[in-house]
Amino acid sequence: MKHCESVQNDFQKVNERLDSMDGRLVNVEHRLGNIEQDVKEMKSKFDELYNKLDEFIALYQKHEQKLLMMGNHLRRLEERIIKLEAQKQ
């Protein structure tokens, strides 16, 4: 009988250890759930940021093209002014 009690005590200790490990695993699962949520939010924000960067680059390129066209127009106007001034003299 004493041997049975000893085995029961050993099983009880193992059971207590498993219970404590279960508690730790629950905490790990909870923390992993939080990390998963954080990663999803970061991905969403990165996607949003990349979309905004694409829009900004497109606007910059459009603005750059307009500036080049205005520069060309300005150069032609300057050439015409020089010709007109030369004709007056």
Q: For residue 23, which amino acid is it?
A: G
Please state the rounded mean pLDDT for residues 67-88: 94
User: What's phi and psi for 8, nearest 5 deg?
Assistant: -65, -40
Say how many CA atoms lie within 13 Å of 86 toward its Cβ: 6
Looking at residue 24, what is its pLDDT?
Answer: 81
Both structure tokens of 69: 């066209």
Segment 13-29 shows an average pLDDT of 83
Residue 64: is its pLDDT beyond 90? yes
Interatomic CA distance for residues 85 and 89, integer angstroms: 7
More confident residue, 78 or 15: 78
Token code pair at residue 60: 């910059």
pLDDT of residue 16: 84
Three-state secondary structure call for residue 58: helix
Determine which of 4-8, 40-44, 75-79 has the lowest per-residue pLDDT on average: 4-8
Rg, C-alpha atoms of the chain? 38
In degrees rounded to 5, what are phi and psi of residue 75? -60, -45
